[in-house]
Amino acid sequence: MSAYPEFSVQALSRVLFRDFGLTENAEIILAYSGGCDSQVLLHGLVGVRRTVHLGITAAHFDHGLHDRSAQWAEQCAAWCASYGVEYVSCRRAVEKIPGASVEAIARRARYHWLDSIAEPGQVVITAHHANDQAETFLLGLFQGKEFAQLAGISPDRPLLYRSETRLIRPLLPFPQRQLQRYAERNGLSWIDDPSNRDTRYYRNYIRQEVLPLVVKQWPAAVAEMGRGARCIRKVVQQDRKRSGTLLDQHRCPAGRTAFCLADPLNMPELFNRYPFELAGLLRTWIHSAGLPLPSQVQFDSICNDLLQRRFRRSALHGGQAVIQLFDGQLFLRKDLGPGNLETLKWNGKPVSISRLGLTVEMRRFVAGGLDPGRLRERPGYLVWRKGGEKIRLPDRKHHSSVKKLFQARRVPPWERDYLPYLVVGDEIAWVHGIGATHHFVSRSGNAGISPTFTRLED
């Protein structure tokens, strides 16, 4: 996408329909903050709408980070009403996570909301411009980001990993000074968020202090950094394609468990890969789960420990996810937190366990499942492991330790404590990873049923 000489409605129209290939009757969701940049984009889209049919919905996400944010949302609604533009909003406080960037958490929540409201065929547009691209490039450079992370802001990509909603940034060819001139010429008003001037934030410091000095010495610096980011992006796209192929070769869908955020990886084969291949594969794998990458220091530590074959586990994304090696496979799973789960009475109907993000339901299986008739004889309960349990397997005369059965059948340790047993009366009827016990198994080839665990978000 080449730079344009000056921002205008006509230039915006060319970017939308020529560079991004939008067609007339396109339906657009504008991520609308009410700041200068998004105000210019909204005004420009309304101008484009005068010549072609363009469906515009302005979507405002209030993170509740400022005392006046509710007033800003009302002002955005009023501006949209004056333009005859549909307006939707959402207020959701940012859940602060130790060690994680508030800006990154807020952006993730905003994009998930935009994805949830987008209808099939709608395109999400943000107001990122050429200065944002230059700031991102410098920020990555100063923070020692790897080559792939210097590719900057992508002009066109899925809104979220595997999302069917397209995200485009039509203002990337235009520097901020052009957008400000457009706003002044057209008498636009906008919201001035004072947090954007707080130079305690790295991006703001670059915006307020560093970039103006660079541009003063090298007037074309913003455009040149944008060109550099585009060149890097071409190389990165090829690298991601290769990493995606490696992921398909090494992932093990059959090993995925209830708490997995992505298919596990076959580690013995990965040890034969070059370090840069392993790093690219891990990035793609973490990204496939919809998680942000850890810090560069943590990511390098994970890669080095894996290559040295001394890896055990590492927490990611503020401790909400865990990478763990077990039985030759690398798992990316939800961090389950402390135990102390309550016993649940169960009548065989689906039940949600929100704390674990799971639904438990009965499904019909072939011989070897639970006998439905036996389940109706006494009340059923979902209980959690306490330790020391013993069960009698079908067609065996003696009881066996559940712990030893877990070990023999290679049940991952995080499943042993967090997936419940089914108890009928005072007897264990079924244990995940092991199956139905002697008194409750279906007999004579009859089809049995079995509890199944499904993630709530799947």
pLDDT in tens, 19-53: 999 998 899 999 999 999 999 999 999 999 999 99
pLDDT in tens, 174-205: 999 999 999 999 999 999 888 888 888 888 89
pLDDT of residue 366: 66
Give the H/E segment covering residue 55: strand 54-62
Tokens 């900057």 belong to residue: 152
What b/e readout covers 25-58, taking b as 16+ CB neighbours within 10 angstroms? Answer: ebbbbbbbbbbbbbbbbbbbbbbbbeeeebbbbb
For residue 152, pLDDT beyond 80: yes
Rg of the chain over all Cα atoms, to the nearest angstrom: 27
Tokens 């010495």 belong to residue: 217
pLDDT of residue 186: 97
Average pLDDT, the chain: 87
What b/e readout covers 288-318, taking b as 16+ CB neighbours within 10 angstroms? Answer: bbbbbbbeeeebeebbeebbeeebeebebbb
Alpha-carbon distance of 322 to 264, in angstroms, equals 12
Alpha-carbon distance of 36 to 188, in angstroms, equals 8
pLDDT in tens, 227-253: 999 999 998 888 888 888 999 999 999
For residue 279, pLDDT beyond 80: yes
pLDDT in tens, 281-305: 998 899 888 787 787 788 888 888 8
Structure tokens given for 61: 């996400």
Q: Confidence band (pLDDT; 50, 70, 90) for 457?
A: low
pLDDT of residue 170: 97
For residue 455, pLDDT beyond 80: no
Count the neighbouring beta carbons within 10 Å of the beta carbon of residue 269.
12
Which of 11-15, 142-146, 191-195, 255-259 is predicted least confidently? Answer: 142-146
For residue 318, pLDDT beyond 70: no
CB 270 within 8 A of CB 311: no
